Amino acid sequence: MTEVNKNHLSWDEWDELHNPPPAVTDFDRVVESAISRRGFLGGVLAMGSAAAAMGTLGNLMSSTSAQAQEAASRFPFKPIAIQTDATVHVPEGYSWKPLAKWGQPLFSNVPDIDHEKGVSVEHSDKVFGENTDGMESFLIGTHQVIAVNHEYVNPEINLPHAPEGVPQSADDVKILQNMQGVTVMEIAEGENGWEIVLDSPFNRRIHHNTPMKISGPAAGSELLKTAADPNGTDSLGTFNNCGAGKTPWGTYLTCEENFNGYFGTTNADFQMPDDYKRYGIAAETRYAYEKFDERFDVAKNPNEPRRAGYVVEIDPSDASSTPIKRTALGRIKHENAAVTIARDGRVVVYMGDDERGEFLYKYVSNGIYVPGGDTSKLLDEGTLYVAKFSDDGTGQWLALTEETTGMKMDEICVFTRMAASKVGATTMDRPEWVAVNPVAIEAYCCLTNNSRRGEVKDGKLRTNAGGDEMAVNAVNPREKNEYGQIVRWYPDAEDHTSEAFKWDLFAMAGNPTVHQGTLYAGSSNINEGNMFNSPDGMMFDSTGLVWILTDGEDSDEGDFAGQGNNQMLAGDPVTGRIERFLTGPKGSEVTGLTWTADKRTMFAGIQHPSAPFPDGDGKLPRSTIVAIRRDDNALVG
């Protein structure tokens, strides 16, 4: 190579020199297999060799993003810039206000949170919990009801009297247990906008000690029996409620994600069973429940953690109903549960398992959904599948049965990760929410990031906790993937029960300013004006726009320069265009999205802000649901 005159390099050339692109093989795969095969990225497939593609990538990206710009915009808002401050921003012509904040009462005889002392144990199961996450709204008669998850607690701020938030008593543990789980609450619109209806008969807190039924193939299994529940059918509590889902028959699905963190032991002699490792159950915990509540001591109750990690069905119309853990949907670190009804009426539920190198799942019911009919077995009797993505843009749903896994049905439901490993599922870059397009037969999943994708340690490729390798492949095309991507699949025969599908990447997040000309710039629908990292939450609105919520690095520096705080964007599935709608306060994740029945208000969740929000200086940072409306009262979804 002749000497390069560094003073006369174009930005592309300079970047190529300083940020050499990844290996040609990786790039080749991406070009041929990963980037969208349809519409807005059209032409990519026509590229021949990787070398040819490499030379034209810059042009390809700019020309296709120009196409996207020209495409008629379906976005009813003017996109906003990034922010790095401590509040929420929405587009011109929209406004927001808090609907529900951590520690806010659901009943009239309960005080609001004390900004110095927190919430008392007595009131801790009667207030809006901490760390709002997935949510759904329900119109029950004329009542607008919201069911919403409280994923976890920050012990330090819930227990201000306890050093470093480590519980000092059973009461301390009880506070933490009560501030998580689910809130069901009625809301109503008055002079001050939408507010919680205090004392509504719908209002309810579900927490770590709420009685639950266990149903499906693992109900009554030896794996789930405990001294307190010798039948293995009645458990207590739902844990680490992350994303959510909604059935067509009006129930709420809450998804247990990092349940492993609540179960531990101080008994150094206890031999951890093999399955604990795959799920990350370890002796030491952050919450110290096991010191004050022996149900959580795995040396005394080794089956207790096997009773968590499920999708739990809740009837929001009846505050006295018992939630049901649906074991047929598998035991994983459940992110959300995206429900759709297939052509023949069978119920299909898509679910991600959010951990590095874990899998994407689908459940298909045996029975069909008939409005007004019996729905009690639809989430108990069916087949669980796991996804295998091929580099040629096709994929398969692999059934997890006794025949395919060599495991018994209860084992498949309780040790689902191991069952999926046995059939050769594709290790993914942390599957977060799945969303099903209501106006086209396709579904999307946010693969949030995977710092270990393609990494070699001690001469070996990194694996998931079960030993499945995380090689770079077409659907997870980048080593040390810090930005994430959104995969989309099209079921064969336009039928969500099909065992085969085609797929592409709807978007690869990235930073086109820092990494111009490499895969880390992102796909062509990512630009300086809309860039983000770590897509996580995702919901379709009724118009067919897909809303993307982020949970990523918000330093706004280095690889993340120009990306600002976490945010919410809207994507157009047809043109691929993506625009920023909302930015959250510093330190927060934006997660959870739903709409009122009249679609004039949208609710978005602001989880774990780091600075005082929304009450202002000197007050606690409060995880909050915000209500967003258009000033002209037009529809917002």
The strands making up 94-101's β-sheet, listed across from edge to edge, are 94-101, 624-630, 601-607, 589-595
d(CA 289, CA 62): 54
Residue with tokens 């019911």: 365
Positions 12 through 41 that interact with Ca ion (CB under 5 A): none
Question: Could you tell which of ligand FEO, Ca ion, none binds residue 257, using a CB distance below 5 to 8 A set by kind?
Answer: ligand FEO
Positions 245 through 264 that interact with ligand FEO (CB under 6 A): 257
Question: Could you tell which of Ca ion, ligand FEO, none binds residue 468, using a CB distance below 5 to 8 A set by kind?
Answer: none
Q: Note whether 256 binds Ca ion by CB under 5 A.
A: no
Among 153, 162, 212, 242, which residue interacts with ligand FEO (rule: CB under 6 A)? Answer: 242
Nearer to Ca ion, 178 or 607 (CB): 607
Nearer to Ca ion, 351 or 364 (CB): 351
- Give the interface size with ligand FEO as a residue count (CB under 6 A): 6
Among 26, 28, 151, 315, which residue interacts with ligand FEO (rule: CB under 6 A)? Answer: 151
Task: Give the number of other CB atoms < 10 A from CB of residue 494.
Answer: 12
d(CA 132, CA 144): 18
Concatenating the DSSP letter of every residue in 97-144 gives EEEEETT-BSSTTSPPPBTTTB--TTTTTSB--SSEEEEEEEEETTEE
Give the amino acid at 367. Answer: G
The angle formed by the CA atoms of residues 576, 485 and 548, to the nearest 5 degrees, is: 60
d(CA 292, CA 302): 17
Contact 284, 310 (CB under 8 A): no
Nearer to Ca ion, 102 or 194 (CB): 102
- Give the interface size with Ca ion as a residue count (CB under 5 A): 4
CA atoms within 13 A on the CB side of 56: 15
d(CA 476, CA 487): 9
Minimum CB–partner distance for residue 263 and ligand FEO (Å): 18
Q: Note whether 335 binds ligand FEO by CB under 6 A.
A: yes
Nearer to ligand FEO, 234 or 335 (CB): 335
Among 358, 536, 541, 572, which residue interacts with Ca ion (rule: CB under 5 A)? Answer: 536
d(CA 259, CA 81): 36
Question: Could you tell which of ligand FEO, Ca ion, none binds residue 186, using a CB distance below 5 to 8 A set by kind?
Answer: none
Positions 419 through 438 that interact with ligand FEO (CB under 6 A): 432
Taking the CA atoms of residue 439, residue 445, residue 446 and residue 448 in that order, the dihedral angle to the nearest 10 degrees is 180
E strands, 492-566, in order: 500-508, 535-540, 546-550
d(CA 592, CA 540): 12
Two tokens at 299? 């040396």
Positions 473 through 512 that interact with ligand FEO (CB under 6 A): none
Minimum CB–partner distance for residue 113 and Ca ion (Å): 20
Positions 353 through 412 that interact with ligand FEO (CB under 6 A): 354
Minimum CB–partner distance for residue 583 and ligand FEO (Å): 20
Minimum CB–partner distance for residue 566 and Ca ion (Å): 10
Positions 414 through 473 that interact with Ca ion (CB under 5 A): 432
Q: 493 φ, ψ to 5°?
A: 60, 20
Minimum CB–partner distance for residue 585 and ligand FEO (Å): 19
Positions 550 through 609 that interact with Ca ion (CB under 5 A): 551, 589
Minimum CB–partner distance for residue 430 and ligand FEO (Å): 7
Q: Note whether 130 binds ligand FEO by CB under 6 A.
A: no
**Span from 95-103, 399-407, 413-421, 547-555 in contact with Ca ion (CB under 5 A):** 547-555
Q: Which helix (H) or strand (E) holds 396?
A: strand 394-399
Residues of the shown chain interacting with Ca ion in the complex, contacts defined by CB under 5 A: 432, 536, 551, 589
Residues of the shown chain interacting with ligand FEO in the complex, contacts defined by CB under 6 A: 151, 242, 257, 335, 354, 432
